[in-house]
Structure 1
Amino acid sequence: MIPIQKAYGYVTREKMGIPQVLVFQHPIPEAGIQIPKGTVKEGETPENAVLREMKEETGLHNLSLKGLIAKDLWKADDGSLHERFFYHLTTSNTIDEWSFNPTGGGEEHGPRLDSFGFQEYKMFS
């Protein structure tokens, strides 16, 4: 089975010296709070995919790719195998919260409006 490649973005910033990570509330309540992610297109590198997906999913364009955090193989409930790439990106975005309608199509159909915001996070040493 050939895995489906997925690119996940942990977008961080510092505000008044406090590290924050970008999350969004999916409009389907059961989906909960998530980080932006998407599928790597054929012929695309995971690095290019994460930059493209972050713009399409969040509307942010001032992102800097810091590097790969981790990758793994994960079997979804439907039996498909996903090769997941988790990246760290930073932004100088000063907006604390906004709503955005993701572009680029994808697995979900119909209009969708996601509510984005930065939340404080604790760094591990």
Structure 2
Amino acid sequence: MWVDLEAANMAASVVGAVVALAGLTLSVWQLLPASGAAEVGIRVQATGPHSVAAGGDITRNAFGARSKVGSAPGSAPGSPAGPSAPVVGPAEGRQVEAVDGGLAAGGAMGRNAVGDDAEVW
């Protein structure tokens, strides 16, 4: 059984179009979130005066009047004083909220001066 070149060309075009459409459909399907799947992300909210919220880590910060974060005596200015808190990834799929002067982090908190006149070295 012989097929002429024109018929083979048409058949190959149809097969190619079907395969391309199937690939496009699969690509779009993979990009869409699964039905009923929870939205992954983080919601960060700070309400009220002096509230601070972060989706990740909070390290080596000064919160409060006259608060300061410094270097240990004898260390070079700007160099960290000893080990800090471990770095943790973002709190995916959770809510981080600080209210009424609160401090909240989705990750690690360490070596922070919190409150008036607070110091950390």
TM-score (norm 1): 0.23
Who wins on radius of gyration, i.e. which is larger?
2
Greater share of residues in strand: 1
Greater share of residues in helix: 2
